[in-house]
Structure 1
Amino acid sequence: MSPEPALHGLLLLGTDTVYAVHLPTFTAPHDFQAVLRVTLDTDTYRTAREHYGTAALFTARPRTVLLKDLEPGATCRADLFFGRFGRDGEPLGEVRITIEETVHVGPPAAEPRTLRYVLFGREQLYLAHVLTGPPDFDQVVTAQRAGEWWATEAGEETPARTVTVPGRPDDLTGRLRPGEQLTDGGGELQVLAEVYLETADLTADPA
C-alpha cells in the first residue's frame, strides 16, 4: 500500500497575499505539485519579506500534512527559514500556516515533455514549472504583464492556469530566465526574477 501523499517542504511567496508552493520530489509520499493560498499567524515572514524583497527565498518545513488535508481552513505548524531549509537557511522561528485556498494541485504531468508553467498570483504573478519525470527541475519565477508595473489590481486574483512555452526543451537549459517574454493567452508576460531553482531533489526515479 503506497503512503498517503504528504508535504515535503514549502516555498513561501508574496506579502499581502501569501502563497505556499509545495517543494516536491519524485519519491512518495512527496510526489505531487501544489500551490496554496495561505495566511500565517505571525508577522515574522511579512517583516522579513518586506525587508529582503519579492525575489528573496523563504521556505517552511511543515510537520507532516497529508494531501487529503489540503482543504481551506486546515492548519499546520512549520519551521520558517530565510533561504532553503535543511541547507544554508537561517531559522526564523515557528509559524502556523492556515490554508485559505487550494489554487493548484496534481501529480507530475504525463509525457510527452513540453515546457510548461502554472501561472498564478494576485498583486504579483508567479510561474511554477510543471514537472514531468526524472531528471527534472523545480523552478518558480516572478512575472508581470508586459509594460505594467503591477500584474493585477489589488484584490484581483489571476486564476491558476497552465502556460506552454513552445519551441523550448523541457530541461534546465530551456527554462525561463529573467527578462524573457512569453504569451499566456491573455497577453504578454515578462519574467522578472528567479525565486527558486532546484534539481537535486528531482533526480530520483520513483521506480
Structure 2
Amino acid sequence: MVTPETDPELAIHGLVLLGTDTVYAVHMPTFTAPCDFQAVLRVTLDTDTYRTARKRYGTSALFTVRPRTLLLKDLEPGASFPADLYFGRFGREGEFLGEVRVGIEERLYVGHPTEPTMEPTPLRYVLFGREQLYLAHVLTGPPGFDQVLTAQLPGEWLTSAGEQSARTVTIPGRPDDLTGRLHPGEQVAAGDAELQVLMEVYLETAIPHAS
C-alpha cells in the first residue's frame, strides 16, 4: 500500500474553502516538501453540504477540507479527490460535516516559498474571486504566516483583465511579516484602486518547517 511514509510525493494537503456560488480552495502550505507550495483553485463539490453551511454561517466563516491522500500533480484541472469537510479547522476545533468529492476546475495561482534573502521582501497577496473578492497572503521564507481575508474593490476590478480571475497585488510600505499584515477594516492601495479589507477568514502563524 502506498502511503505518505512510503512515497515522499504523497501527503495530506489541507484546503480552506471559500465562496458559495463559485467555490475556491486555498492550499494550507508548509515550508517542507511535499507540502511547500501555495495554490488557489476554483473547485466543484459533489454535495450541497458545504453551500448549505456556508449560507448559514456567512462569507467569513472558516471551512476546511482534509483529503485522505493527494499528490501535488493531481491538483490539475479535471482531477478530483475525496476529502473530509469541516466547519472550522480540521485537526483542531473543527466540526466534521461529512465526506465530499472535490473537483479541480481551474488553477488560479501556484507558487512556492522563496529562499531567504538579505533584501526585504514586499508584502504581497493574491487577489481573486467573482461574487466576492478574497486575498491570500503570498508566502515567502520562514517563519512566515498564512492568511486569507475577504475584500472589495470599487467597480469592475477585472474589466481590463479579460478572463483573468486572479492577480498578485503588492502592498507598498509594509513589511512581509505579522506586523505588516493586512487587518479587517483597512483601506490600502492596490495598483490604481483602493482595496477595502473586510474580514479575516484564516490566519496561521505556526507553519511547519525543517529545524
The TM-score, its normalising length taken from structure 2, stands at 0.87
- Is 1:98–2:103 an aligned residue pair? yes
- Is 1:133–2:141 an aligned residue pair? yes
Residue deviations 1:143-171, cap 9 Å, x none? 0014x6x9779xx9653211111111111
Following TM superposition, the consecutive aligned residue runs of length 4 or more in structure 1 with deviations greater than 3 angstroms are: 109-112, 150-153
Q: What stretches of structure 1 of length at least 5 have no aligned partner?
A: none
Aligned to 1:53: 58
- Is 1:195–2:198 an aligned residue pair? no
In structure 2, how many angstroms separate the alpha carbons of the residues matched to 1:16 and 1:152? 18
In structure 2, how many angstroms separate the alpha carbons of the residues matched to 1:115 and 1:82? 29
In structure 2, how many angstroms separate the alpha carbons of the residues matched to 1:152 and 1:159? 7
* Residue correspondence of structure 1 range 102-181 to structure 2 within 5 A: 102-110=107-115, 111=117, 112=119, 113-146=121-154, 159-181=165-187
The TM-score, its normalising length taken from structure 1, stands at 0.89
Residue deviations 1:158-200, cap 9 Å, x none? 5321111111111111110111112222511100000000011
Identity among equivalent pairs (%): 73
* Residue correspondence of structure 1 range 7-18 to structure 2 within 5 A: 7-18=12-23
Q: What stretches of structure 2 of length at least 5 have no aligned partner?
A: 1-6
In structure 1, how many angstroms separate the alpha carbons of the residues matched to 2:81 and 2:176? 34
- What is the RMSD computed on CA atoms of the aligned residues? 2.1
Task: Return the offset for 1:203.
Answer: 5.0
In structure 2, how many angstroms separate the alpha carbons of the residues matched to 1:199 and 1:88? 16
- 8 Å Cα contact 2:62/2:89 also seen in 1: yes
Question: What is the number of residues matched between the two proteins?
Answer: 200
1:138 counterpart letter in structure 2: D
In structure 1, how many angstroms separate the alpha carbons of the residues matched to 2:111 and 2:12? 13
| 1:186 to 1:39, Cα distance in 2 relative to 1, 3 A | farther
Residue number among 34, 42, 47 corresponding to 2:47 in the alignment: 42
